[in-house]
Amino acid sequence: MRDFRGLQVWQKSHNLVLDLYQSTKTFPHDERYGLVSQVRRCASSIAANIAEGCGRKGNGEFHRFLQIAAGSGSELDYHLLLAKDLGYLTEVEYRRMTRSLTDVRRMLSALMQRVERQRLEAKC
């Protein structure tokens, strides 16, 4: 069992969630159960799946939850683009969010590679 709070990728994804919660407060009220909910859900899913994977046994399960987190990152990428195109996010906000998301996705990818390598080495 790992402590997810110590992982930089979790810290960065958690900060992204906090930032997105603030930004989505300004979205139109009629998007409360639509885009606001989707953005918040997939953003928090990244951090939550990292945390859940840390609580699982073995690198195989951890890797699977990291993959789910990465999928949520792709979904969030689209929702941010949609929010920008609808005028709910400014270009500056959009760039800031996507930059943070890109960092998280790169970190997730590197962690997945490391975990998979460790998993395969343990089989030998």
CATH of residue 17's domain is 1.20.1440.60
User: What are 96-121's pLDDT values in tens digits?
Assistant: 999 999 999 999 999 999 998 887 77
Report how many domains make up the chain: 1
What pTM did the predictor assign? 0.92
User: What are 8-61's pLDDT values in tens digits?
Assistant: 999 999 999 999 999 999 999 999 999 999 999 999 999 999 999 999 888 889
What is the residue range of 102's domain? 4-123
Q: What is the dihedral of CA 51, 6, 111, 39, to 10 degrees?
A: 50
Contacts of 106 (CB under 8 A, 6+ apart): none
Q: Are 65 and 49 in contact (CB under 8 A)?
A: yes
